[in-house]
Amino acid sequence: MRTTVGIIGAGPAGLLLARLLHNAGIDSVVLESRDRAYVEQRQRAGILEQGTVDVLREAGAAERMDREGIPHDGIELRFDKRRHRVDFPALTGGRSVMVYAQTEVCKDLIALQLAEGGPLLFEAEALAVEDAESEHPRIRYRHEGREDVLDCDYVVACDGFWGVGRKAVPADVSQVFERTYPFGWLGILADVAPSHDELVYARHDRGFALLSMRSPSVTRAYLQVPEGTDAADWSDEEIWDELDRRLETEDGWKLERGPITAKSVTPMRSYVHEPMRHGRLFLAGDAAHIVPPTGAKGLNLAVGDVVTFARALTHRQETGSTELLDAYSETCLRRVWQAERFSYAMTTMLHTAPDASPFDGRIQRALLDRITTSGAAETDLAEGYTGFPLD
């Protein structure tokens, strides 16, 4: 089989790239190692930046998002039982975010790809990327019990940290920058209406807490827990009690409880692989970078990567110039490092490290006080949260 762009991974990045290329008249093939049901059910991100929302609309993939997604014009910060709302549109010239789960984005893009786009092969495991430095790289993959080859002009690896894409970049040209955090997030889904109409980020001496949502009837919440925690060690009652403690306010706000339907622990790390391109192999999303989830940046960074690639390849097709393709890594990394900075700042401001001193706690409170009293500091947070420009 032959195509212009071989895409490894049918997460939101790979699927959106296939859609953008289809709309530009460029053919592609998507290889996904998992089955369709798994892709449409795996719980991941739920916050879409303004730029991501705009791209989905422009791509013709936003009909259900606009009908069922929940627009959010701000977040609430809590510390020392105080509450402060950050008003995004007022601080950013009208930008906001959308609560719409990654699973739903994937469902929408899969339906479009199967109806209108090129081949999308589920249970097609990419085994290796070969000849990346040539004009015709290839992907060896296994599908329906036999090995095959996809010949391409370009390969885009949207296959995550453990995929074959990143491994195809030679070690002698790779640089890795990373930081691990001594805590994780215990996340839950619960069948109860959210207790607040916007996300709540709480800094507490016992640890961070986040109150979120998946729909008007489903609450998503997180607790900072020690690294290596097993979710099964926490009972439902213990989780609700701890959320109550960390989200408590001086005005008597009440947390609504309900049946917990899922719980899991997410490790926290920051990671960047440079460069994001080797020959005609391009890395996108978690294959190139990982952020702690505090800043809601992971999915949105992946969208920025594939938008950058689609624009560059379209420019190549229309003008013959490889200028934008050659600049892919540098262009993406400018945005990646801003998102890494923002996510790191949010994480260190709101989480309590195991070895934190009283001085560290005072610095965190001073940072939060600055945001609540300085328009410039509050604007910086709002601009970072709603997203850095895709161009």
The alpha carbon dihedral of 156, 25, 329, 322 has a sign of positive
Residue with tokens 């790779």: 174
In the set 154, 181, 222, 385, the catalytic residue is: 385
Instruction: Take residue 20 and report the two structure tokens written for it.
Output: 């953008």
Q: Are 59 and 23 in contact (CB under 8 A)?
A: yes
In the set 12, 194, 292, 293, the catalytic residue is: 293
Question: Is 100 assigned a catalytic role?
Answer: no
Q: What does the DSSP assignment read for 224-243?
A: EEETT--GGGS-HHHHHHHH
Residues with Cβ within 8 Å of 283's Cβ and at least 6 positions away in sequence, in order, are: 156, 157, 165, 166, 169, 273, 276, 277, 305
In the set 196, 297, 328, 351, the catalytic residue is: 297
Question: Is 271 assigned a catalytic role?
Answer: no
Question: Is 71 assigned a catalytic role?
Answer: no
Q: Are 129 and 281 in contact (CB under 8 A)?
A: yes
Residue 189: in which H helix or E strand, if any? strand 175-190
- The SS3 call for residue 141 is strand
Q: Are 91 and 379 in contact (CB under 8 A)?
A: yes
Question: Is 201 assigned a catalytic role?
Answer: yes
Q: From CA 185, how far away is CA 354, in angstroms rounded?
A: 14
Instruction: Indicate the angle between helix axes 375-386 and 358-373, nearest 10 degrees.
Output: 90
In the set 12, 22, 72, 273, the catalytic residue is: 72
Cα angle 144, 145, 150; round to 5: 65
Ramachandran category for residue 117: left, alpha or beta (phi over 0 → left; psi -120 to 50 → alpha): beta
In the set 100, 154, 201, 328, the catalytic residue is: 201
Residue with tokens 């600055």: 370
Residue 372: in which H helix or E strand, if any? helix 358-373
Question: Is 297 assigned a catalytic role?
Answer: yes
Residues forming the active site: 72, 201, 293, 297, 385
